[in-house]
Amino acid sequence: MTFEKLNLSAPILQALKMKGYVNPTTVQQKAIPVILEGSDVFGSAQTGSGKTAAFALPLLQLMSNKQQSSRAIRTLVLAPTRELAVQIGESFRDYGKNLGMKHVVIFGGVSQHAQTTQLRNGVSIVVATPGRLLDLMEQGFIKLNDVEYLVLDEADKMLDMGFIHDIKKIVSKVPANRQTLFFSATLPPEIKKLASALLRHPVTIEVKPAPGSEVMVEQKLFMVDKISKTALLCDLIRNEPISQALVFTRTKRGADKLVKALGQKGIRAQAIHGNKSQNIRQRALDDFKTRRVTMLVATDVASRGIDVKELPYVINYDLPDQADSYTHRIGRTARAGAKGFAYSFCSPDERMLLRDIQKTTGYAIPVQEHAYKSNLHAKMIEKESSRASEYSSKRPNDRVERSRRYSRV
């Protein structure tokens, strides 16, 4: 299928052609016609599935078909992080470049002056993180009386970050007669409850990998003492060689320490996390995308919205606290059919986290030999792998589904 068959307008198709996009992804094929029909959407799709274009393209078309005042905010998109908000804003800019619609991205951590200036000049689309949006609403810079389209992107992460009350305050100011699009990578009970309160007779769109899809992410596990993780990482960077990698740490302090340690070894790296100013975070991301920096060290929250084409490696320097975060992390690589590598370091104190990951995915990550591995590590991983194998053999259907999800997030 091509985008032409989705009944998108010529200006939008021209913008897609300039970006080199010809064939829509599965979530785009499913969502775009439904949104163009005016239905609410309850969508579940993993990172890298093309979700942003799935809602941005039809919303741009709907707004262009029904011209309104250029000063009225007609579309409001809520996102959990600054990086994701910026990425969504860039998508609306690129896809709507021939339509003349103005947008603004609202987030905290920077002066509000540039954002309020854009708002005074009039915008049709606001992409925002909840905190700064509420702040500007309370100051009188933003009114949502004319919003026709409301999007909640990565709603599960917004709930994880404690934005539920902010979301409810914001939604209470949006007209009830609106079209609402709700997207979440995971579907815990809290998400289903929130979606039920916000959506009217929604069409459910759930995108899972096709049966028989190839495993494009090659996963490796390195058992290593915590004190030896940096030395192991440096060895891998030099010996693989790893040309570019997104490296995950569990804490902000850990990210800064790792960047400093890599710098002492002559490896250029930058950190991106919540304690960094927005300007520093954006500069680090830009440097990474243009390969001026080859190692970007991030925490889970800060990584939301990072979209780097042809990223070859994801490295879990620390295992995540939540097993589902593992699939989000490794989903940053192996996009658009390219092969990617996901390396994970596990120290003895992380063995319970490893166990949760293997139970969730039903997959025992292959263990790699290396210079820093001890006999204790070998015995430990043998035990964990055995448990993961037992789990997967008892629940084969879950194992297959989770393995596919795991490999194609």
Is residue 36 pLDDT above 90, yes or no? yes
Question: 217-407 domain in CATH 3.40.50.300?
Answer: yes
The pLDDT of residue 213 is 41
C-alpha 44/C-alpha 24 separation (Å) is 17
Whether pLDDT at 406 is above 60: no
What whole-number distance in Å separates Cα of residue 141 and Cα of residue 157? 26
**pLDDT on residue 139:** 95
Average pLDDT, the chain: 85
CB atoms within 10 A of CB 346: 25
Helices assigned H by DSSP within 25-80: 26-36, 51-65
Q: Exposed/middle/buried for 107, CB within 10 Å: 0-12, 13-18, 19+?
A: buried
Which positions ≥6 away from 64 have C-beta within 8 Å? 9, 11, 99, 101
Q: What is the pLDDT of residue 217?
A: 86
**pTM listed for this prediction:** 0.66
Structure tokens at 62: 């709907």
User: Is the Cα dihedral 351, 361, 404, 151 positive or negative?
Assistant: negative
Residue (of 221, 173, 168) closest to 381 by Cα position: 221
For the ranges 148-157, 174-183, 335-344, the lowest mean pLDDT is seen at: 335-344
Please check whether residue 348 is in contact with residue 375, taking contact to mean a CB–CB distance below 8 angstroms: no
> Looking at domain 3-206, which of 3.40.50.920, 3.40.50.80, 3.40.50.300, 3.40.718.10 is its CATH number?
3.40.50.300
pLDDT digits (tens, 9 = 90+) for 275-320: 877 778 888 888 898 888 999 999 887 666 677 777 899 999 999 9
Please report the pLDDT score of residue 400 as a whole number. 35
Which tokens in the block code for residue 383? 């035990």
Angstrom CA distances, 95 to 14, 149, 162, 276, stand at 9, 17, 31, 30
Nearest to 53 by CA among 80, 87, 76: 87
How far apart, in whole angstroms, are the C-alpha atoms of residue 340 and residue 331? 9
Give yes or no for residue 333 having a pLDDT over 70. Answer: yes
- Residue 398: CB atoms within 10 Å: 15
Q: Report d(CA 55, CA 157) in Å as an integer.
A: 18
Instruction: Give the span between the Cα atoms of 148 and 179, in whole angstroms.
Output: 6
Q: What is the pLDDT of residue 211?
A: 42
Q: Cβ-count burial of 379 within 10 angstroms (0-12 exposed, 13-18 middle, 19+ buried)? A: exposed
CA-based nearest residue to 86, from 75, 77, 97:
77
pLDDT of 379 > 90? The answer is no
pLDDT at 404: 36
The answer for residues whose C-beta is within 8 angstroms of residue 22's C-beta and 6 or more apart is 2, 3, 16
Q: What is the pLDDT at residue 409?
A: 31
Residue carrying structure tokens 């053999």: 393
Give the pLDDT score at 282: 80
Name residue, tokens 């910026």: 86
Q: Which residues contact 131 (CB under 8 A, 6 or more apart)?
A: 108, 163, 166
Mean pLDDT of 150-165: 88
Choice between 331 and 76, residue whose per-residue pLDDT is larger: 76
Task: Give the least confident one: 80-94, 201-215, 330-344.
Answer: 201-215
- 214 pLDDT band (50/70/90 cuts)? very low
Asked if the model's pLDDT at residue 378 lies above 60, the reply is no
Tell me how long the chain is. 409
- pLDDT interval class at 353 (50, 70, 90): very high
Give the tokens for residue 118: 């854009």
CA 344 to chain centre: 19
Residue-level pLDDT at 405: 38
What does the alpha-carbon distance between residue 18 and residue 25 come to, in Å, rounded to a whole number? 17
- Six-digit token string for 398: 């879950």
The domain limits of the chain are 3-206, 217-407
> Lowest-confidence range among 8-17, 131-140, 340-349, 362-371?
362-371
Same topology between domain 3-206 and domain 217-407: yes
Contact 64, 125 (CB under 8 A): no
Q: Is residue 22 scored above 90 in pLDDT?
A: no
State mean pLDDT over 209-218: 56
What is the Cα–Cα distance from 96 to 244, expressed in whole angstroms? 31
Residue 152, SS3 per DSSP: strand
